Chain A
Amino acid sequence: MAETNSSDSHKRNFSHGVTVDSKDADFMEAIRAAVDYRGDVTIELLDQKKKKLEGFLFNSTEEVIDIFPKDSPRKESILVNELNRIIFSGEDQAAGKGWDDWVKKREQIKTQSSRLSEAHT
């Protein structure tokens, strides 16, 4: 479900499904979050005649973003002031695979195996 309203009072969590408008106060923050995001994003341009672009956004400055479009071998650089909206459209491939998740998983496996060995003795 798309979330389009930004609020100054709390920081938005830029996760799967979130849409950020270029007029939103946290638009630049959203771009930085999109660079960190391990899923595809959809970029809508202000120029309605140009298609919107879906791909992996991997680099940004205040002026330009670099994206690998899903269906093209070449990277594209787009001016930030040409962007209309950014949508966190693709699934985050890193979700649930972070350090903390790993530590938790290892602990679970250990507890399970010690329970099993206790049960066998």
Chain B
Amino acid sequence: MGVPISQMWTVASYVLKQKFRSNHRYPLVLMLEPLFRCNLSCAGCGKIQYPDHILKRRLSPDECFKAVDECGAPMVSIPGGEPLLHPEMKEIVEGLVERKKYIYLCTNAILLKSKIDLFKPSKYLTFSVHMDGLETEHDEAVCREGVYKKAIEGIQEALKRGFRVTTNTTLFENAKPARVREFFDEMMRLGVEGMMVSPGYSYPKAPDQDNFLERSKTYALFRKILHHGKKSWRFNQSPLFMEYLAGDRHFECTPWGNPTYNIFGWQKPCYLLQEGYSASFEEMMATTNWDHYGQASGNPSCANCMVHCGHEPSAVDYTFGSWNGFLSTVKATVLGLRVSAPESNKLPLLPKRKRFIEAGDDSVSEDLKKVAHG
């Protein structure tokens, strides 16, 4: 696996500390969105469709530091918009490195080469480059030709200068497993530290109990990609989360694991849904009705969701919360990821979904349909 020992140690000791304190709901990765403006306009991205005066607003470095200190998570992911468009990104990164936070600066890398002088290599800073596949697939997903080549140039420059670089890939139903496997080979050839993958977020207007079909599609896709995965592939994410994607185990969502802060405040309940904002992290944690989220809640908005931001913290919690989880993680790390064959009938046992009752909430939030990835 591609995560360095020092980072693993920081995360492990942080999670164990929460366990000893019997803190069951703790943040693991803060999703810090300092602006929504982007230099791309990927079809299906729900993060950038705002009026111009909203796109011009951004969090100041001090607002970012206050959020990071309030939240206390050991890792900070900086998505957007495009963070490299933020004129004070240098200061923000420096302040977070000073706080010893492991930063994932998520970028489409168009500006990476030209802005790289602003940053110093550090074990705390990783450029997490948005790559949705090989050239054809990536340029199609981002709706612009030439972006793949530009991103590769950015990655090569960052690697040459000694930066940590990972890739983050969102896969949709139309992904071709053989092409994704080729893409993994290509990223490894480039020399990135590790890759992150997550299924995209697609929501039918009114999903019903048939949603399991949607999950089965995700399982089938990831089995085809990951079965007999190559030893050379390195992933910068929990192996148990990948087993979850391939339907070899089940995790319920822990949305508090990846809290989101942006110009509107602390977003309830997760990175994808926008069901209100709180002025403080504490208030967001205390006033969100967590029972309303995750597939078992019966909430139609969560029925098909298997994205990393809700479920990877669950996998990490399982690793450090039980011997079984710990041993499974060690096994997958040492022996490599082993997922069921695509033709296998094995399916995880899902908790029964509750009937979701909330006045006036019988349809999927409009935001869900807007958000594909971001």
Contacts and interface: CB of A to CB of B under 8 A. Distances in A.
A58 B277 contact: yes
A58 B264 contact: yes
B53 A68 contact: yes
Interface stretch (A1-9, A17-25, A44-52, A98-106): A98-106
A106 B140 contact: yes
Interface in A16-47: 29, 32, 35-40
17 contacts: A36-B274, A38-B49, A38-B51, A56-B53, A58-B277, A59-B277, A68-B263, A93-B50, A94-B370, A97-B44, A97-B370, A99-B44, A99-B202, A99-B203, A102-B43, A106-B140, A106-B174
Contacts of B203: 99
Interface string A51-83: 000011011110000101011010000000000
Nearest to B53: A70
Contacts of B44: 97, 99, 102
Nearest to A90: B51
**Interface range on chain A (Cβ under 8 Å from partner):** 20 to 34
A100 B53 CA distance: 27
B360 interface: yes
A49 B134 CA distance: 59
Interface stretch (B106-114, B241-249, B307-315, B361-369): B361-369
A60 B237 CA distance: 36
B57 A97 contact: no
B46 interface: yes
**Interface range on chain B (Cβ under 8 Å from partner):** 20 to 34
B197 to A, nearest CB: 19
Contacts of B50: 38, 56, 93
Given A68-B54, A90-B51, A93-B51, 19 more contacts: A35-B274, A36-B274, A38-B370, A55-B53, A58-B274, A58-B277, A59-B264, A59-B277, A60-B276, A68-B263, A71-B53, A93-B50, A97-B49, A99-B44, A99-B203, A99-B369, A101-B43, A102-B43, A106-B140
Interface string A108-119: 010000000000
B174 to A, nearest CB: 7
B72 interface: no
B265 interface: yes
B372 interface: yes
B139 to A, nearest CB: 11
Interface of B, helix, strand, loop or mixed by DSSP = loop
Nearest to B360: A29
A56 B369 contact: no
B276 A73 contact: no
A92 to B, nearest CB: 8
Given A36-B367, A73-B57, A102 B372 contact: yes
Contacts of B46: 94
B268 to A, nearest CB: 9
A58 B372 CA distance: 20
List 6 tightest A-B contacts by C-beta distance, closest first: A102-B44, A94-B49, A93-B49, A36-B366, A102-B43, A59-B277
B53 A105 contact: no
A70 B51 CA distance: 9
B369 A40 contact: no
Contacts of A55: 53
Nearest to B278: A59
A101 B263 CA distance: 27
A58 to B, nearest CB: 5
Interface centre among A56, A66, A73, A98 (most CB of B within 10 A): A98
Interface in B33-75: 43-44, 46, 49-51, 53-54, 57
Contacts of B372: 99, 102
A21 to B, nearest CB: 19
B277 A109 contact: no
Contact of B369 (A35, A59, A100): A100
Nearest to A38: B49
Nearest to A105: B43
Nearest to A95: B49
Contacts of A59: 264-265, 276-277
B309 to A, nearest CB: 17
Interface centre among A37, A56, A90 (most CB of B within 10 A): A56
B285 to A, nearest CB: 17
